[in-house]
Structure 1
């Protein structure tokens, strides 16, 4: 007996889509077509338009955002090995994208989605949202300010000599840092503060609780957050790193409570911003 497969439908009225948004949408579809199918990337099945609307038919994922699921996990147990298993999946996807010379340019926790409601330790994870993705033919071939505060690479913010695929490795390094500590490395009181911390490239290594982390874990995150993009670890090198190949330990990480506090602060800040915007 064949099982039923569900798809998500994204519908947009053309009258509500600005010219630059239309260009971004069609570039996103072009990139998604090049990407095709991968176990850890959200699949775009079809793009359709008529005289009034655009329709995107996407793989349906019911598991929610990765960090929310980590916070909600029963038992409070989250180990280096659990973090490694998550990184194996997303690095597999990023290595695949970079092999096709595609830069995502907006990697952040909100774009890591779970396929279903399986326990987070067993769940399959997929990278979503290719709205800023583009082809990167050379090390400095990309221009334009994009990405999210706290995750965007410093070379993007400098807007000097262009940038390339290494910007994704910086963002993934930030995400790994959070997976290991529950604390963002470039988390300021405001977006402006976060961006300023990123441009300086200095993050607080003491919050790592170094005694709780294996040397391979510290080595990987340090090499992913290398300030010079030319010296930063590539996706292929990271995917082959010993920490992702079995050396992660079973040591418990103090992640859930830290994540819970940080996520609560972020939601509160967004709520305040939304309230201010609606009262103007």
Structure 2
């Protein structure tokens, strides 16, 4: 049980506003490839997010590709000029890069000045998206697109491929503007939270893998899109892992190993004083058999005072309902730690059985008279994680010390 007394609810403190790197979307010739390819060239210029949010846009149309709930393959036949296809260049970005190349040519051979310029040019890197989106994730009225990309490097006058693979998460500014203040899944809050977590991990000398949290390496933007550059995780998410497992569920040993990693991610978030609020199998990505928590668009900073941790004032009940704690559904004040513990329990249930709640149970001891065909230790930990009262729910330390985790 959670023995720490609950303090009166407070609004969560906001995340600090962030700046993003500017990028240039243009076509370049890559060594050993015949055709010019579209890439995103990372620059050293930074801009405040508000610069993009407040940009004048007379063409806001919430029915564009990023807010379309239809077939994601429609992108291939879209001939519009709204930049919806990642293979379509932005003319303004292209001209910026052309100006840079023209300036380089005009400089000629200027001795030491030219050497300095070459050092700068040769450090340039770009991201080369390949093929159709790996996935398209709906978020209310808009969608985010995830692309596989290769990192390319400038070497003298050539662009060459590297062995570095990344995932590009992309969402249009047009849709971000149109959906402002209408969704709890907030892309701007997500990038602020990722910066907050990156700083926290850096201050503590902890890597993403050890913390079991996936942050963005780079956040960049052109005039049309916001991009999050993340490590490419070829293992897919936990849903895929369970779907391809025998009997569409994991063994207790494998579930236990992954659950320990999930608890490590929970520990990281608790130490950073945030709650994820949207934990689910879809938000666990696998990197070399390591599970990492992703998608922080609904996360909240936990309010603290001199007296300790406070409850959070009620929020809109949004997210994946099968994984929401009852107090979120009821719009009660809630403890940030306890709602993530409940969600972690639903993930353990999914890994062990392949099943989810159809709807969050609003009564106590939901599994006390249920046999799920798992060990007594597994049943006991699930039953104790799904207590209706957050104060009766197991704490992170109690979960770690449970016999199921000692196997």
C-alpha separation between the residues in 2 aligned to 1:238 and 1:115? 24
CA offset at residue 9 of structure 1? 1.6
Shift of the 22–78 alpha-carbon distance from structure 1 to 2, 3 Å rule, reads closer
SS in 2 for 1:106: coil
Note if 1:199 corresponds to 2:362.
yes
CA offset at residue 75 of structure 1? 9.2
Shift of the 27–208 alpha-carbon distance from structure 1 to 2, 3 Å rule, reads same
Note if 1:236 corresponds to 2:397.
yes
SS in 2 for 1:199: coil
SS in 1 for 2:381: helix
Give runs of aligned pairs for residues 118-129 of structure 1, distance below 5 A.
123-129=289-295
Give runs of aligned pairs for residues 66-215 of structure 1, distance below 5 A.
66-73=238-245, 78-116=250-288, 123-137=289-303, 138-144=309-315, 145-184=317-356, 186-187=357-358, 194-195=359-360, 198-201=361-364, 203-204=366-367, 205-209=369-373, 212-215=374-377
C-alpha separation between the residues in 1 aligned to 2:355 and 2:242? 14
SS in 1 for 2:208: coil
CA offset at residue 170 of structure 1? 0.6
SS in 1 for 2:370: helix
CA offset at residue 180 of structure 1? 2.3
Equivalent in the alignment of 2:171: 12
Note if 1:222 corresponds to 2:383.
yes
SS in 1 for 2:321: coil
C-alpha separation between the residues in 1 aligned to 2:350 and 2:247? 20
C-alpha separation between the residues in 1 aligned to 2:313 and 2:400? 24
CA offset at residue 237 of structure 1? 3.0
CA offset at residue 234 of structure 1? 2.1
Structure 2 segments unaligned to the other structure (5+ residues): 1-161, 199-206, 304-308
The CA deviation string for residues 84-122 of structure 1, in whole angstroms up to 9 with x for no partner, is 001011111111111111100011111122125xxxxxx
Match of 1:64 among 205, 212, 236: 236
CA offset at residue 74 of structure 1? 6.0
TM-score by length of 1: 0.72
The CA deviation string for residues 142-173 of structure 1, in whole angstroms up to 9 with x for no partner, is 43122211110000111133442210111111
Equivalent in the alignment of 1:38: 208
The CA deviation string for residues 58-78 of structure 1, in whole angstroms up to 9 with x for no partner, is 121111122322332369894
CA offset at residue 8 of structure 1? 1.3
TM-score by length of 2: 0.51
Shift of the 224–152 alpha-carbon distance from structure 1 to 2, 3 Å rule, reads same
Aligned length: 226
Deviates further, 3-12 or 59-68? 3-12
CA offset at residue 239 of structure 1? 3.0
The CA deviation string for residues 224-268 of structure 1, in whole angstroms up to 9 with x for no partner, is 111111221222332343322x32xxxxxxxxxxxxxxxxxxxxx
CA offset at residue 179 of structure 1? 2.2
CA offset at residue 50 of structure 1? 4.0
Deviates further, 219-228 or 137-146? 137-146
Higher helix content, 1 or 2 = 1
Structure 1 segments unaligned to the other structure (5+ residues): 117-122, 188-193, 248-280
RMSD (Å), alpha carbons: 2.6
SS in 1 for 2:230: strand
SS in 1 for 2:384: helix
C-alpha separation between the residues in 1 aligned to 2:345 and 2:402? 13
SS in 2 for 1:44: coil
CA offset at residue 202 of structure 1? 5.2
**Contact conserved, 1:155 with 1:163, CA < 8 A, in 2?**
no
